[in-house]
Amino acid sequence: AARRCCATTTTTTAKTWTRRRACRAAPVARRRVGVRSRASAIADDTDGAAASSSSMPEYLQNASTPSTMFTEHAWGESVELQSSLLRAMRIQWTHGFTSTPKSYPKCTHGFGEILAGMQAAACDAIFDVLPGDSVMDPFMGGGTTLIVGQTKGRRAIGVDVSPLSCFVSTHRNWRASLASLDALSALVSDAADMAKTGEFSAPPVAESSDDDGVVASEDSGVPKPWRPMRDALRARLAKVSASEVDARVFEAAWFCLSVAVQRTQKSSNKRRPKGKGKSGGSGNIVSDNADKFVKITDEYVKRVLEFQAVCNQHDPAAPEASIHNMDIRQFKLKDEDKVDAVLTSCVYPGVYDYQSFARKVRAGSGAVVTSSDAEAQPLSSTFLTTTVPGDRHWPKEWLEGEIGSRKALRSDPYSFKETWQRDTDAWVAVVADCLKSGGRAAIMVGDGANINTRTSIIEAGAKSGLIELAGCTMKHVGGTLSDGSIYNQARTEHLILLQKP
């Protein structure tokens, strides 16, 4: 019996390795069938969901009535506008921004780490009060407004000063071809196989020195367990030319790897109950990380396919979003490109440091991309092409242009309010200039640094000729929730609707 068991095991192992060798011999062809079949299935599911969406989703039903957790106040001549804005704010406060409510299309929302953002379903609800077929977000963040706008058939424009926001938003808004997704899946899977076997040769990692001559390796921000996977991907991409695949496939591969590293770091920092350790895995951390990378890339491909399917419900589908990495105060649209609507969750005074967070991510999980990779591969994103400085002397595009940062409040608290209003006047003036006549701007903003941002935004709008139509304000009723935890969004927030005459 023992001999029969051993013989069976040997035969099975031989068959397994035969299948693996065959898979590696023709990886692209095999995976192309998988991507295309998934695309077809997702399109069918999306069409079916659209056809059966006659009843109101539960999250919308819940948002149609006041919550006992918040105090809310609405203003404006139109009761209908008040109701629509309150509904959107209830969704925002109930569901946060990192996930989507049940039954709402997930698309690429929440894929990749950003500091703060708007809930996709809340954004969708705000579109009900915005006219036309185009939209702009002057504080784009992760690109929620652009994604939702495209799923509604609108031309979308996004602007953000943060290189991280533009990097994440670009990949969340990628309307990739099936061929590009085929190539991405195949390259990542091949790189994962190479990492497991160790059969690859990657270029050496560069080093940089600061003004004092202290040498630092570009490896320093990458966790050691992830370096073999990073090097395998470098080696695999080095064998591909930009003429063979869409150049954006290279950046998408690095994007998925940075997300994989982020998620692993977050999960390792979570506290586990006493006696509970990590479960699953092969015991080989390099192999486990390679599998995680493939799994996360597959998730990304699926999310992009869903995004494409929802966009394609419109005939014609909206064009791919236009994304600009710059200070909104320096932005300008040509007359023929002006928009019907602006929808944004702008900066909150003295609450976040977006540029600091972008540098932290680039030096951490974003460090999977080295300077030699940026030179050898067709990478165009500022996030990827900027070398992490060993002396912390970052280029100016990583340091300047942020409005109302917490760092600015700490640096000069006495003049912060005056500076905030001046900057708010400037970016609201740009919004007014980018709007067509009759266009509307919906602005979500929270108070901070003892500044009433409702008054601040409305005053800035009036200076630029924008008329206040309606708005609402929400505030949490107390410091804790029913389970005793402290609510993390306890600041007063407003949703303000302005119109250009």
d(CA 420, CA 460): 11
Say if residue 17's pLDDT is above 80: no
DSSP conformation letters of 461-473: HHHTTPEEEEEEE
| CA distance linking residue 361 with residue 345, whole number of Å | 22
Concatenate the DSSP letters of all residues of 322-362 into one string: EEEES-GGG----GGG-EEEEEEE-PPTTT--HHHHHHHHH
Distance (Å) of CA 40 to CA 114, 184, 376: 31, 18, 35
Q: Which carries the bigger pLDDT value, residue 139 or residue 6?
A: 139
Task: Give per-residue pLDDT as tens, 168-179.
Answer: 999 999 999 999
Residues 105-120: what's their mean pLDDT? 91
The C-alpha atoms of residue 33 and residue 346 are separated, in whole angstroms, by 42
pTM above 0.75? yes
pLDDT of residue 409: 94
256 near 293, Cβ under 8 Å? yes
Strands (E), 361-434: none
Mean pLDDT of all residues belonging to the chain: 84
pLDDT at res. 243: 80
Over residues 121-147, mean pLDDT? 96
CB-based contacts of 426: which residues, under 8 Å, 6+ apart?
329
- With a CB cutoff of 8 Å and minimum separation 6, the contacts of 452 are none
In angstroms, the CA 86 to CA 495 distance is 8
Strand ranges inside 77-219, DSSP E: 134-137, 155-160, 207-209, 215-217
The first and second tokens of residue 168, run together, are: 């994440």
Three-class DSSP category at 366: helix
Residues comprising the chain, all counted: 501
The DSSP secondary structure of 91-118, one letter per residue, reads HHHHH-SSS--TTS--TTTT-S--S---
CA distances (Å), origin 168, targets 61, 371, 384, 472 = 32, 20, 11, 30
**Amino acid 207: pLDDT:** 57
**Are the C-beta atoms of residues 305 and 44 closer than 8 Å to each other?**
no
Which one has a higher pLDDT value, 11 or 153?
153
Question: How much is the pLDDT for 43?
Answer: 58
Q: Which of 2-11, 322-331, 471-480 has the lowest mean pLDDT?
A: 2-11
Residue 440, helix vs strand vs coil: strand
Tell me the C-alpha distance between 326 and 317, whole Å.
Answer: 27
User: How does pLDDT run across 19-54, given as a tens digit for each residue?
Assistant: 444 444 444 444 444 676 666 656 555 555 554 555
Q: Which range has the worst mean pLDDT, 231-240, 295-304, 371-380?
A: 371-380
Specify the pLDDT at position 64.
82
Mean pLDDT of 325-335: 96
Cα 415–Cα 417–Cα 421 angle in degrees, nearest 5:
120
pLDDT in the model for residue 300: 96
Residue with tokens 């091949």: 190
